[in-house]
Amino acid sequence: MSTQVQNEVLKVLEERHSVKQYQAGHQIPKEVLEQILTTTSQAPSAWNLQHWKLLVIDDQAQKEKLLPIAYGQKQIVESSVVIAILGDLEANKNADAVFGPAVDAGFMPQALKDNLVAQIEGAYQHPQVARDEAIRNASLAAMQLMVAAKSLGYDTCPMGGYDAGKFIEAFNVPSRYVPVMLISLGLAAAPARSAGRFSLDQVVVSNSF
């Protein structure tokens, strides 16, 4: 990666802040939204199981339904889109779809696939592992979404303030998925305030505590 490209990436990361005031009524072009979602889907994940489902809520009536579930946060109805990041509790079921094509193309020995599948199935015998991996990997996708959006001129706000149980019921979320966060997406109506951050000496530990 060239220095110029690296600096552009760092600039996007430095300029990304949570936005809570959006230009109501703005519609994100379909091709732009699809580009953001495609980039989101390219996030890293354990075993490449891609432990996420993205519920795109762009219908205004659906956003109005979501508003009380999200405790009246106005960015729900003013942003162009709200994307619910869901973690896949049964991502182990993706293994054949992930590894099968690699075996068929000759990139992966069948024995290696069998070993990986056995490893995954063993791990997924533990519900806590399934939940931890769902939330961990879906969170990687969420961050990728916010960076992709900012790089294309859009702003976002991750939200953990909502009633997950009511969300599941209202939007018919299958039991396979656990809500991780909501992300509002749109054009900022007012610049986001840069929040303070701890200094490195407050957050970084070298080698051992």
CA separation, residue 114 to residues 6, 111, 121 (Å): 38, 5, 10
Is pLDDT of 14 > 70? yes
Question: Quick one: which of 69, 52, 82, 73 has its CA closest to 154?
Answer: 82
**What percent of the chain is predicted at pLDDT more than 70?**
97
Contacts for 200 with CB less than 8 Å, ≥ 6 apart: none
Whole-model pTM?
0.93
Amino acid letter, 20: K
Measure the CA–CA gap between 134 and 51, rounded to whole angstroms.
5
Average confidence score pLDDT of the chain = 95
Q: Phi first, then psi: what are they for 203, rounded to 5°? A: -120, -15
Domains of the chain, with CATH numbers?
11-188 (3.40.109.10)
Per-residue b or e along 19-30, where b marks 16 or more CB atoms closer than 10 Å to that residue's CB: bbbbeeeeebee
Contacts for 30 with CB less than 8 Å, ≥ 6 apart: none
Q: Residue 32's pLDDT is what? A: 98
- 16-58 residue pLDDT tens: 999 999 999 999 999 999 999 999 999 999 999 999 999 999 9
